Amino acid sequence: MSAQSAAPGVARASNFSLGGLLRRPEAGALLGLVAVFVFFTIFGGTGFLTPDSAAGWLNIAANLGMVAFPIGLLMIAGELDVSIGSMIPASSMTIAIVSGHYQQNIWLGVAAALGVGVLVGLVNGFLVVRTAVPSFIVTLGTLFATAGFVLGLSVLLTGSTSVVINSDGVAKQIFGSFIDQTFQVMIFWWLLATAIYIYFIHYSHYGNWIFAMGGDKESARNAGIPTRKLTIMLYVLSSTSAAFVGMCQALLFNVAQVSVGQSFIFNSIISVVVGGVLLTGGFGSIIGIFFGTITFAVVNQGIYFTSFDRNWSSLIIGILLLIAVLMNNTFRKMALTYAPKKK
Amino acid sequence: MTNATSAPVLELKNINKSFGPIDVLHDISLQLRAGEVLCLLGDNGAGKSTLIKILSGVHVPSSGSILMDGSPVSFATPRDASDRGIATVHQFGGTFPLMSIGRSFFVGAEPTKGWGPFRVFDRKKANEVAVKAVRDFGITRIEDGDRLVGGLSGGERQSLAIARAVHFGARVLILDEPTAALGVKQATHVLRIVNQAKKRGLAVIFITHQVMHAMAVGDHFAVLIRGSVAADFKKGERTREEITDLMAGGETMAGLEKEIEDYMSSHDGHPPPAGH
Ligand SMILES: Nc1ncnc2c1ncn2[C@@H]1O[C@H](COP(=O)(O)OP(=O)(O)O)[C@@H](O)[C@H]1O
Ligand SMILES: [Mg+2]
């Protein structure tokens, strides 16, 4: 009896079914991605399908995706982090000041840049778990505080808001170089990160903890999950990921500026939502965020290959976002009401 | 009875609990023995859930001590309590609507397979065990562990939470109003499960508002009124009418609370004369 009762789930998993696909969090993201690809192939012509075009959206997707994954995890866990918008310039400036302005060893700069990320993440995490203040407000505070601190300190130390960093060698190669002069090495980091996140979130048991936390934080804690530690870790992850992106950009462009990175705040949230993560937490997938990020990047870059004005891309993204939110609710309802009909 | 001489599995000594300025529990002392069902009775807001949250590591008491098998223990987190074999079904929550039945069942205790750093969540095993556990509970409508918990009825979700606690509770099983969301059939099932657990030698704490349910399984009764133990007696020491009165007594007193306070503030802090 019991062996028989377990069989349907197993059988269903190994068979492909359209209904099964539609109930997954990434269903909408995949449809959206296909739609924008078709759209830009039609309106962008052959230019859109060239390697140069691919490099354009892959580079955007890779940088954005590194941040979108941890932001997505935070949103699945029921939290938010907007301070990443300051983390990117903060780490750029850190490595540029340490290794550019002060000419220190490049690895010291790398460590300092990532260290700033860990530090801000710890501050965010502790503030969120220790106070009852919503994480949006907490990280809005650290967004401005970090931005002000970086601006003040860089003017104080270097007398400028942009600092040159010339580097070569291994660090430049692995963090901030172009392959074939068009593809950023970040693309490899992003693909590697995708694989690691998929493992941790969907195969190891830690993923279960994050979904449980987003579903019902109190019940998750009652079930023995170290919710506070996990929350702090997720904030450290998002801050450090943003720091990683900022550091790589400084090495790539040989210059750091205090005023870049704010666009990552909204762009990452859009990618995550288009990727099928519920705004209320508890539901989503890594592969969905992956698709959502590519969708965003394709719209962002594909517009150049069409005859439309660049400004229309924001309209498309806005519409995509609204459709995604509506679809996510529909897909969630479908997933909830699903019960095996046959048998 | 026979096990009355052995050390209690759990013992509370002079437990107090306050949340900031709000005192919720006063000087609670209770003993819980293996193979015994303790029914915790009392009106809404009496502090029953707070008390069992202390026993399950959700809250740390403001003062007082907890002893397990005669030696002092402290539960800083729910994990500390569950590691010692205490499993609790809390009054609210306990399942995760957007997770599958198999995943929800094993939150915090996920079965894994594989080796070293490549251990993966064993979905097949989780689904099998979870589905079997709820089916053993009489809910035969569930046959697919991949179904989301949110698609189940309130009673089915409650049964899932109870099945989980029974599965993981090795020494102590705590059920906070487990029959509240259940139909007659499932409620009877819970009572049967409580009796089974008791026979297996577990200590059980059972919170209910239904005298019938309490009488059916209780060996030992404790009545909380406004955070204090107002009565503590064994099965057979009180009649059903007396127990009903005690449970309802809390209600009457809660209703009178404001009147008493008003009376006290207008009579130099003296309580009103007893009786009515
Ligand atoms: N976390 C908390 N903070 C403040 N007050 C609380 C908290 N938890 C419970 N209380 C208060 O403690 C009292 C007892 O609640 P509870 O233990 O849930 O009662 P019961 O389960 O007997 O109905 C209530 O007045 C409730 O408002
Ligand atoms: Mg209660």
pLDDT range class, residue A196, cuts 50, 70, 90:
very high
Q: Measured between beta carbons, which residues in chain A are less than 8 angstroms from residue B124?
A: 6, 9-10
Check residue A308 and give its pLDDT.
Answer: 85
CA–CA distance, A249 with A45 (Å, rounded to integer): 31
Q: Which atom of ligand 1 is nearest to the CA of B59?
A: 1
Beta bridge partners of B224: B42, B229
CA–CA distance, A143 with A124 (Å, rounded to integer): 10
CA–CA distance, A340 with A330 (Å, rounded to integer): 19
Task: Write the residue with the smallest CA distance to atom 11 of ligand 1.
Answer: B24
Check residue A2 and give its pLDDT.
Answer: 36
Q: Is the ipTM of this complex over 0.85?
A: no
| Burial label, A153 (beta-carbon count in 10 A; 0-12, 13-18, 19+) | middle
CA–CA distance, B250 with B231 (Å, rounded to integer): 11
Q: In this complex, which of A9, A12, A208 lies closest to B110 when CB atoms are compared? A: A208
Q: In this complex, which of A1, A208, A337 lies closest to B121 when CB atoms are compared? A: A208
Ligand nearest the Cα of residue B43 is: 1
Q: Are B82 and B74 in contact (CB under 8 A)?
A: no
DSSP H or E segment with residue B176: strand B172-176
Q: Which structural domains are found in chain A, ordered by start?
A: 3-9+17-337 (1.10.3470)
Q: Measured between beta carbons, which residues in chain A are less than 8 angstroms from residue B90?
A: 219, 222
Q: Which residue has the tokens 């409650």?
A: B158
Task: Write the residue with the smallest CA distance to atom 5 of ligand 1.
Answer: B19
Between A79-93, A308-322, B39-53, the lowest mean confidence (pLDDT) is in: A308-322
CA–CA distance, A194 with A290 (Å, rounded to integer): 7
Residue A342, pLDDT above cutoff 60: no
For CA atoms A327, A333, A335, A337, give the dihedral sign: negative
CA–CA distance, B10 with B66 (Å, rounded to integer): 7
Q: Which residue has the higher pLDDT, A59 or B244?
A: A59
Structure tokens at A239: 């801050």
Structure tokens at B173: 């099983």
Q: Which fold has domain B10-95+153-266?
A: Rossmann fold (3.40.50)
Q: Are B51 and B28 in contact (CB under 8 A)?
A: yes
Residue B24, pLDDT above cutoff 70: yes
* DSSP reduced 3-state for B13: strand
pLDDT range class, residue B43, cuts 50, 70, 90:
confident
Strands A255-257 and A183-184: unpaired
- Stretch B255-260: mean pLDDT, rounded? 53
3-state SS string for A185-246: CHHHHHHHHHHHHHHHHHHCCHHHHHHHHHHCHHHHHHCCCCHHHHHHHHHHHHHHHHHHHH
Q: Is B127's CB within 8 Å of A6's CB?
A: yes
Q: Is A205's CB within 8 Å of B96's CB?
A: no
Q: Phi-psi bin for B119: left (phi > 0), alpha (psi -120 to 50), beta?
A: beta
Q: Which atom of ligand 1 is nearest to the CA of B91?
A: 21
The closest alpha carbon to B150, from A335, A257, A58, belongs to A335
- Stretch A105-132: mean pLDDT, rounded? 96
* Range picked from A10-14, B116-120, B169-173 for highest mean pLDDT: B169-173
- Stretch A231-254: mean pLDDT, rounded? 97
pTM of the model: 0.88
The dihedrals phi and psi of A181, each to the nearest 5 degrees, come to 60, 5
The closest alpha carbon to A87, from A142, A152, A155, belongs to A142
Calculate the average pLDDT of chain B: 86
Nearest 10 degrees: CA dihedral of A110, A113, A117, A122? 90
Ligand 1 shell residues, CB under 6 Å: B 19, 22, 24, 42, 44-50
CA–CA distance, A289 with A210 (Å, rounded to integer): 15
* Range picked from A112-116, A315-319, B110-114 for highest mean pLDDT: A112-116
Percent of chain B with pLDDT over 90: 54
Residue B72, pLDDT above cutoff 60: yes
Q: Is A216's CB within 8 Å of B108's CB?
A: no
Residue A330, pLDDT above cutoff 50: yes
- Stretch B267-272: mean pLDDT, rounded? 66
The residues, any chain, with a CB within 8 Å of residue B133's CB and separated by 6 or more, are: B105, B160, B163, B164, B166, B167
Beta bridge partners of B65: B13
Q: Are A131 and A228 in contact (CB under 8 A)?
A: no
Residue B40, pLDDT above cutoff 60: yes
Check residue B276 and give its pLDDT.
Answer: 44
* Range picked from A168-172, B60-64, B161-165, B167-171 for highest mean pLDDT: B60-64
CA–CA distance, A84 with A139 (Å, rounded to integer): 9
Helices (H), B21-153: 48-55, 78-83, 101-105, 123-136
Ligand nearest the Cα of residue B25 is: 1
Residue A18, pLDDT above cutoff 70: no
Between A200-209, A261-270, A304-313, B64-73, the lowest mean confidence (pLDDT) is in: A304-313
Minimum distance, in Å, between the CA of residue A227 and any CA atom of chain B: 10
Ligand 1 probe mutation, B19, B55, B176, most atoms within 8 A of CB: B19
- Stretch A250-279: mean pLDDT, rounded? 93
CA–CA distance, A48 with A302 (Å, rounded to integer): 6
Ligand nearest the Cα of residue B40 is: 1
CA–CA distance, B266 with B153 (Å, rounded to integer): 51
- Stretch A303-311: mean pLDDT, rounded? 85
Q: In this complex, which of A6, A207, A282 lies closest to B145 when CB atoms are compared? A: A6
One-letter identity of residue B273? P
Q: Which residue has the higher pLDDT, A8 or B228?
A: B228
Domain ranges across chain B? 10-95+153-266, 96-151
